[in-house]
Structure 1
């Protein structure tokens, strides 16, 4: 689902879109929320009401990885990256591990 498709989905499913707005956390920036909201909307049809918590948790894993550089297991990251395929985040931060930074400093 492209960003335009997400906007069409929101227009056609106003009640659901309004409900998704209630999932925004207090500390999320507008950029973080827009990305996570798109993640939720792209995947909500795959999760029944009883599994909504799982979808919200996966959306937080994705957002934490993209915006905060949090690390998770390879299996989990592969799953959320697949679920987020096609979501474009402008000016996403780039994170380096301690080892990458040390290697870069030694090469100077």
Structure 2
């Protein structure tokens, strides 16, 4: 079983805040936005938005690419997938296994055919 690390803690902390989740949603909808573009869609001051984005960057959920003098923000879905793989998928597999077993019991050995 994989060992939890500081990176996972940062991801959970970053995603715990609704404002940071909104930033991720905005980047999912339109990746590669500037801070100005993001601020236009957020109900907060530029300084607050910057602080939230910095937390997302430290958690590796957002990456920055400079294009000339523009600083573009891109979502990085890998840490979210890692959380899914570690914490969600194993529970999903149990549920799907249960549903498969229930289906087999209801339909019997003939798999629903007569």
- State the TM-score, normalizing by the size of structure 2: 0.25
- State the TM-score, normalizing by the size of structure 1: 0.26
Larger radius of gyration: 2
Which of the two has greater strand per residue?
A: 2
Which of the two has greater helix per residue?
A: 1
